[in-house]
Chain A
């Protein structure tokens, strides 16, 4: 059974700082990995999707990397802003489960 872990559970940083969120998974036979953002009381918004054959994806200030062999992914946020404050969830697709398995998320607070 695929298990996805996100560390830290919460992170507070000052505005302008570069930061890294971590995601690890137990079954490396994955199809893809996605990073989502969830604002309080809202649904999830997809940020980046990395196929298993890719090493990274970039969108604006966000960069996600994937290392299948070690079962790890990171989400790098450059020059953080208060508007980046949200919960970030990692979801792994495939492996023994033909579906997305989600981590419990990292709650990010960017202080002005």
Chain B
């Protein structure tokens, strides 16, 4: 299995631009998670999908952030408009079923907003 795939691996953009991060979970996994990691705040859950349905989006910082999961093999996290404080590493993870099971992380997308 290829594991969780994320793209792009690195993104540099200017403030105000739209950013779209992509994730392909492990085949057969029903749950998908988006996390953000910064030095100050550590690793924080942004949103959690189960069977393509958002279950918990309480970690989404504000309306500039949106996430979709149109099918079992693809999810996007969009930031519009982006701001310098959004600079972080964004991880996607998947599990067979729910947050209670082992989560498998992708390599992350390192985002820099200038």
Contact = CB atoms under 8 A, between A and B. Distances in A.
Given A98-B99, A99-B45, A100-B99, A42 B56 contact: no
B37 to A, nearest CB: 9
Given A99-B48, A100-B99, A43 B105 contact: yes
Interface residues of B, number: 18
Given A98-B56, A99-B99, A45 B105 contact: yes
Contacts of A46: 102-104
Contacts, number: 43
Interface stretch (A14-22, A59-67, A70-78, A102-110): A102-110
B108 interface: yes
Interface string B93-114: 1000001101111111000000
Nearest to A31: B100
Interface in B35-70: 42-45, 48, 56
Contacts of B56: 98-99
Instruction: Count chain A CB atoms within 10 A of each CB in B91, B100, B106 and give the residue with the most.
Output: B100
A26 interface: no
B42 A44 contact: no
A102 B43 contact: yes
Nearest to A46: B102
Interface string B69-88: 00000000000000000000
A87 B10 CA distance: 21
A32 interface: yes
B4 interface: yes
Contacts of A98: 56, 99
Interface of B: 4, 42-45, 48, 56, 91, 93, 99-100, 102-108
Interface of A: 31-32, 34, 36, 42-46, 49, 89, 93-94, 98-100, 102-105
21 contacts: A34-B102, A36-B105, A42-B108, A43-B4, A43-B91, A43-B106, A43-B107, A43-B108, A44-B91, A45-B105, A46-B104, A49-B102, A93-B100, A98-B56, A99-B48, A100-B45, A100-B99, A100-B103, A102-B42, A104-B42, A105-B42
